[in-house]
């Protein structure tokens, strides 16, 4: 494989030319960079908490703690979170950041700077919540923002950070139970004025479905449709509780789904209908989700988890194969994020490429089966736009030990 000017130039038998830097990968595996379609990097500050809770119980305990996070906390969490993603072969990550305490939106500057330091692409989802407890929402009032302030801040974040390549801004109200219908509609209009994509949580748990039926007399997908969000510029996180007709509607409209199998298992949310959604035409990608519900925060192990989840759901062993898991983690994720320049090893696409150690797989007849079903794996080399981000399993942009110590010190201060 040859790279030049940030793109893949050739794949297959490629002769060496004078001036080339050559990286030998004999016996290793090479894949396109993995794409993480859903994360909350700030949650690295609150791992190991609420381990026996469902989503609403977990959120209710954690919202007040998250409300204490300052910009430097978010930066510290993002650096560790992006570093762990990079080491696990992720070259593009979507971060859904919906907590902006004291309306200090410099957190988005910190997130963008952290991505630049680590060296991977960031789809920066300017999240938001405007429905506090006193108005019937789940989050406490002090962690929600005012609608007009959210829209003005989103415009600022787009102006400051969106370059369409390394940092891509997305407009992302948090979830049906923490935002008003007005915010959903205004966000869609704002995103479409700028040609940007939309993201939100949807149909994660049955509690959410009951809440939507109680407050609006509508199921979550119907609500989404009422708000103009059933469209191909939208991808939703989780998408667990869809009936047959909803799967067909979402597939026909091209709504993407960020499948987060470990997080769904941890919170006992249910199992996403990945096979049905893909068959209906919906792009499906993988997400680690925040580290408060997926303590590992690494993308490569999610391939195995997605295979296990699909087979457990179908109670069939042939329903989802290792190649399906890799497709979700690469092409499927790129489609969710609207990136036709990522997700495949083809000339002309971005040189986002991962080299995985293969020395333990020499006896495995299908290396892809070994990669997906075998032990968790860290990348040997990671390239983003042809630039090395990880070399010989070492992160180049920052010292991970220092980042971890800083994170631990900050995290301990949050708890009495
Ligand atoms: Zn989430």
- Strand 2-4 relative to strand 7-10: parallel, antiparallel, unpaired? antiparallel
- Quick one: average pLDDT of 334-344? 98
Residue 133 near residue 57, CB atoms below 8 Å: no
For residue 39, how far is its CA from the centre of ligand 1 (angstroms)?
6
For residue 139, how far is its CA from the centre of ligand 1 (angstroms)?
14
pLDDT per residue as tens digits for the range 88-127: 999 999 999 999 988 899 999 999 999 999 999 999 999 9
Sorted by sequence, the CB contacts under 8 Å of residue 21 that are 6+ apart come out as none
Within-domain flag for 368: yes
User: For the chain, what is the mean pLDDT?
Assistant: 96
For residue 237, how far is its CA from the centre of ligand 1 (angstroms)?
6
- Quick one: average pLDDT of 321-342? 98
Residue 328, both tokens: 């979700």
For residue 251, how far is its CA from the centre of ligand 1 (angstroms)?
21
For residue 377, how far is its CA from the centre of ligand 1 (angstroms)?
24
Give the pLDDT score at 103: 86
Q: What percent of the chain has pLDDT over 90?
A: 96
Per-residue confidence band for 239, with pLDDT thresholds at 50, 70 and 90: very high
Nearest Cα neighbor of 209 from 222, 193, 220 is 220
- Quick one: average pLDDT of 269-294? 96
Return the residue matching tokens 């969490």. Answer: 77
For residue 15, how far is its CA from the centre of ligand 1 (angstroms)?
45
Within-domain flag for 29: yes
For residue 54, how far is its CA from the centre of ligand 1 (angstroms)?
13
Per-residue confidence band for 205, with pLDDT thresholds at 50, 70 and 90: very high
Residue 340 near residue 330, CB atoms below 8 Å: no
- Quick one: average pLDDT of 351-369? 96
For residue 163, how far is its CA from the centre of ligand 1 (angstroms)?
24
Rounded to whole angstroms, the Cα distance separating 375 from 300 reads 10
Give the pLDDT score at 102: 87
- Indicate whether 13 pLDDT > 90: no
Within-domain flag for 382: yes
Sorted by sequence, the CB contacts under 8 Å of residue 17 that are 6+ apart come out as none
Per-residue confidence band for 415, with pLDDT thresholds at 50, 70 and 90: confident
Within-domain flag for 17: no
Nearest Cα neighbor of 382 from 84, 59, 52 is 84
- Indicate whether 416 pLDDT > 80: no
For residue 129, how far is its CA from the centre of ligand 1 (angstroms)?
13
Biggest CA pair distance of the chain = 68
pLDDT per residue as tens digits for the range 255-277: 999 999 999 999 999 999 999 99
For residue 29, how far is its CA from the centre of ligand 1 (angstroms)?
31
- Indicate whether 327 pLDDT > 90: yes
- Indicate whether 330 pLDDT > 80: yes
For residue 38, how far is its CA from the centre of ligand 1 (angstroms)?
6
- Quick one: average pLDDT of 227-248? 98
Within-domain flag for 91: yes
For residue 359, how far is its CA from the centre of ligand 1 (angstroms)?
35
Domain containing 290: what range?
A: 2-7+25-412
Rounded to whole angstroms, the Cα distance separating 262 from 64 reads 24
Return the residue matching tokens 């396109």. Answer: 32
For residue 388, how far is its CA from the centre of ligand 1 (angstroms)?
29
Indicate the burial class of 402 (C-beta count within 10 angstroms; 0-12, 13-18, 19 or more): exposed
- CATH code for position 327: 3.20.20.140
For residue 32, how far is its CA from the centre of ligand 1 (angstroms)?
24
* Number of independent structural domains in the chain: 1
Rounded to whole angstroms, the Cα distance separating 79 from 41 reads 8
- Quick one: average pLDDT of 185-195? 98
- Strand 353-356 relative to strand 90-97: parallel, antiparallel, unpaired? unpaired
For residue 294, how far is its CA from the centre of ligand 1 (angstroms)?
10
For residue 365, how far is its CA from the centre of ligand 1 (angstroms)?
37
pLDDT higher for 113 or 296?
Answer: 113
- Indicate whether 1 pLDDT > 80: yes
Considering the entire predicted model, what is its pTM?
0.97
Within-domain flag for 144: yes
For residue 366, how far is its CA from the centre of ligand 1 (angstroms)?
34
Within-domain flag for 301: yes
- Quick one: average pLDDT of 306-329? 97
For residue 8, how far is its CA from the centre of ligand 1 (angstroms)?
32
For residue 27, how far is its CA from the centre of ligand 1 (angstroms)?
37
Within-domain flag for 18: no
For residue 289, how far is its CA from the centre of ligand 1 (angstroms)?
5
For residue 341, how far is its CA from the centre of ligand 1 (angstroms)?
25
- Indicate whether 69 pLDDT > 90: yes
Sorted by sequence, the CB contacts under 8 Å of residue 33 that are 6+ apart come out as 89, 90, 91, 92, 330, 342, 352, 353, 354, 382, 383, 384
Rounded to whole angstroms, the Cα distance separating 224 from 414 reads 35
- Quick one: average pLDDT of 241-252? 98
For residue 146, how far is its CA from the centre of ligand 1 (angstroms)?
21
For residue 60, how far is its CA from the centre of ligand 1 (angstroms)?
14
């Amino acid at each position: 494989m040859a790279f030049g000017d940030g793109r893949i130039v050739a794949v297959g038998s490629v002769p060496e030319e004078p001036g080339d830097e050559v990286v030998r990968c004999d016996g290793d595996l090479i894949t396109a960079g993995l794409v993480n379609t859903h994360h909350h990097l700030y949650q690295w500050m609150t791992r190991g908490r609420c381990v026996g809770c469902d989503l609403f119980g977990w959120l209710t305990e954690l919202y007040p703690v998250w409300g204490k996070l300052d910009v430097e906390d978010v930066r510290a969490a993002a650096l560790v979170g992006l570093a762990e993603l990079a080491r696990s072969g992720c070259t593009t990550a979507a971060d859904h950041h919906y907590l902006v305490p004291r309306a200090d939106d410099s957190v988005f500057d910190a997130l963008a700077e952290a991505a630049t330091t680590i060296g991977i692409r960031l789809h920066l989802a300017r999240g938001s919540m405007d429905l506090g407890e006193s108005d019937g929402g789940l989050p406490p009032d002090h962690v929600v923002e005012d609608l007009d302030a959210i829209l003005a801040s989103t415009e600022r974040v787009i102006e400051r950070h969106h370059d369409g390549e390394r940092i891509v801004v997305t407009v992302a109200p948090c979830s049906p139970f923490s935002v008003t219908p007005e915010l959903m509609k205004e966000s869609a209009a704002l995103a479409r004025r700028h040609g940007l994509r939309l993201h939100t949580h949807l149909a994660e748990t049955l509690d959410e479905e009951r809440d939507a039926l109680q407050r609006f007399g509508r199921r979550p997908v119907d609500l989404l449709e009422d708000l103009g969000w059933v469209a191909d510029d939208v991808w939703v996180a989780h998408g667990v509780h869809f009936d047959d007709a909803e799967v067909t509607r979402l597939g026909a409209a091209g709504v993407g789904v960020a499948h987060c199998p470990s997080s769904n298992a941890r919170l006992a949310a249910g199992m996403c209908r990945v096979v049905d959604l893909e068959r209906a035409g919906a792009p499906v990608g993988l997400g680690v989700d925040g580290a408060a519900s997926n303590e590992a925060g690494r993308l490569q192990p999610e391939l195995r988890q997605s295979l296990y989840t699909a087979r457990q759901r179908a109670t069939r062993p042939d329903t989802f194969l290792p190649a399906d898991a890799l497709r979700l983690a690469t092409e499927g994720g790129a489609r969710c994020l609207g990136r036709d320049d990522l997700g495949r090893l083809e000339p002309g696409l971005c040189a986002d490429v991962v080299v995985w150690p293969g020395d333990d797989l020499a006896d495995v007849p299908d290396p892809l089966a070994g990669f997906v079903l075998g032990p968790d794996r860290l990348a040997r080399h990671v390239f983003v736009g042809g630039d090395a981000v990880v070399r010989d399993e070492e992160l180049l942009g920052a010292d991970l030990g220092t980042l971890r110590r800083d994170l631990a010190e900050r995290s301990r201060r949050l708890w009495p």
